[in-house]
Amino acid sequence: MTGSRFLAALAAVYGMIIVAEPARAHPHVWVTMQTELVYAPDGTITGIRHAWAFDDMFSAFATQGYESKVKGEFTREELQPLAQVNVESLKEYDYFTYVKVDGKKVKLKEPAPGYYLEWKDAVLTLHLTLPFEHPVKTRELQVEVYDPTIFVDFSFAKQNPAKLVDAPAHCKLDVVLPREMTFAEGKALSQIPVDQPNVSMAIGAEFANRILVHCP
């Protein structure tokens, strides 16, 4: 999920206009994700590879007034400045990716070079890899993806939501979907104006998408 300052950064660079709609419920941006956990030959996990497909409305806003050689189509090269704004803005949110190794929090580094935005079927998809600060072997790994303010809603793709890449053969992966939001929670979020972040009830962790890996 992405915070309001991320949208503000996009607006500053591309002149996007976000129209406030009173009583519109959070979230305001929807992301469908696929995630790969990347391992080295020695069995250490080295990085988390994300593919985040933004909803069509946000994709249209982000590319509004953006020039391309082919009308309605964008190449990776044409979208690279926008990809850079995305990645730089996500830094203050820890890329919405939180990791525990054997129950202890670990840090991820900034995205590796080569991140990019892809345009397909009027949808923007951000591809980025977050390296581990220190590659590590682990019996229990937990990866959570969520926006603490619920400004952006993350959900796993129905097909191939997550997978292990070159992991030891005995490692097993499970995907855990977040719980449903209650009526009271939804009503409270609906009172927050569209142009303001949810800072008073940052409950995003309760709606985290989880990837669990067990390597006995």
Res 84 pLDDT > 50: yes
pTM of this structure: 0.82
pLDDT band at 70 (very low <50, low <70, confident <90, very high): confident
- Angle at the Cα of 111 from the Cα atoms of 160 and 126, rounded to 5 degrees: 45
Beta pairing class for 29-39 and 152-156: parallel
Residue span of the structural domain in which 43 resides:
4-214
Please state, for a pLDDT cut of 90, what percent of the chain lies above it.
56
User: Contact, 111 vs 86, CB < 8 A?
Assistant: no
Q: Residue 207 belongs to a domain with what CATH number? A: 2.70.170
The string of pLDDT tens digits covering residues 180-216 is 666 566 666 665 555 555 555 466 677 799 999 999 9
pLDDT digits (tens, 9 = 90+) for 110-168: 999 999 999 999 999 999 999 999 999 999 999 999 988 778 889 999 999 999 999 99
User: What digits encode the pLDDT tens for the residues 137-147?
Assistant: 999 999 999 98
**pLDDT at res. 195:** 54
> How big is the chain, counted in residues?
216
- Give the total number of structural domains in the chain: 1
